Amino acid sequence: MKLLEGIRVLDLTNVLSGPFATLHLALTGAEVIKIENPSDGDLARKLGCVPEYNRKLMGTSFLAQNANKKSMTLNLKAPEGKEIFKRLVATADVVVENFRPDVMARLGLSYEVLSTINPRLVYCAISGFGQTGPDALKPAYDQIIQGLSGEMAINGDERLNPLRAGFPVCDTVGGLNAAFAIMSALYHRQKTGEGQFIDVALLDSIMPLMGWVVANLMIGGQQPVKMGNDNFTAAPSGTFRTKDGFINIAANKQEQWEAVADVLAVPELKTDVRFQERDARKKNRKELTPLLEARLTQRETSFWVNALNKRDVPSGAILDLSAAVNQEQIEHRSTFGTVYIEGIGALKLFNLTAKFSKTPGSVDAPPPTLGQHTREVLRGIGCSEPEIRDLKEAKII
């Protein structure tokens, strides 16, 4: 059994935040019908590092977020397209869109309209700034939200700042927030029979991820310090040089710090007044780091990782992305599943990373080609072959 088996989701989303949300619904067993414009579909179909796939409208960005989904094309600007969509809404449990707040209302397909067709409908709108407020109608991409949220300002160090995260963190967490909200609304509906409207903003979504930093500012009055790869909560906690590269060490507890001093054979540092207590070590981290690196640079990273882990000190190598996705633990956890895509071949795509004992989720079907399931979906709501032919000739599908 799949967790969301029997749930139908109409997915009007594009690029990342919305597709990432609906990917999680699809991986947990929902029937996710991706409704795309007939000309070229989701913009992500053209985004990626392989031009050949972009030309096929199967860009790597699209492939990463759309496994287990169906695709139908539908021109929502045409009256016939609106009517088809309303017929689909009558059969659906969830609608997800990530347009600007005024788009669906201008199309005549707002939640207020759709909920009269299907009062049990869970409608999730994802946008940069939310549906209301002074910035609601402003355009937004992930990098804009990274800048406005303060996330870029707390990254880097005095040499490199501001600094964006190396992946679209605001889009991604916005998608996770939306998936969590949709699941919660479905649970509420199960108890009450009521659907509802969900308003998810990327700007809102990223704020709680900076919880400790924000708490230090809003509760403790402490401005964030640009510390690069150091961890502001403890010392030694951060990145250190070794003989052949770098190591991450997170000695956040007193006993872990003492174990570091023992493993590195510098026991005298444990009683040094500059480093004896946690707050003193944090204050004097610039003096502590070179003393530790003098020892760490005598041996390879792998040696220190093993030695420190044996003493229950969290530590690890710093892997490049290729090594990271191919490490043994990732393979063991089945973080990726393999699917075959015609014209592309076998690809590894994300599985559901939460491991359910009774209702596991997995990649079972490849991302769909544009409009691959249009006929199937239309026939499912009673459209005849002549009707489908007429819709195609009128470029509605």
Query: Does residue 171 have an active-site annotation?
Result: yes
**Secondary structure of the chain in HEC code, one letter for each residue:** CCCCCCCEEEECCCCCHHHHHHHHHHHCCCEEEEEECCCCCCHHHHCCCCHHHHHCCCCHHHHHHCCCEEEEECCCCCHHHHHHHHHHHCCCCEEEECCCCCHHHHCCCCHHHHHHHCCCCEEEEEECCCCCCCCCCCCCCHHHHHHHHCCHHHCCCCCCCCCCCCCCHHHHHHHHHHHHHHHHHHHHHHHHCCCEEEEEEHHHHHHHHHHHHHHHHHCCCCCCCCCCCCCCCCCCEEEEECCCCEEEEECCCHHHHHHHHHHCCCHHHHHCCCCCCHHHHHHCHHHHHHHHHHHHCCCCHHHHHHHHHHCCCCEEECCCHHHHHCCHHHHHCCCEEEEEECCCEEEEEECCCCCCCCCCCCCCCCCCCCCCCHHHHHHHCCCCHHHHHHHHHCCCC
CA diameter of the chain: 86
- Catalytic member of 171, 244, 312, 320: 171
Catalytic residues: 171
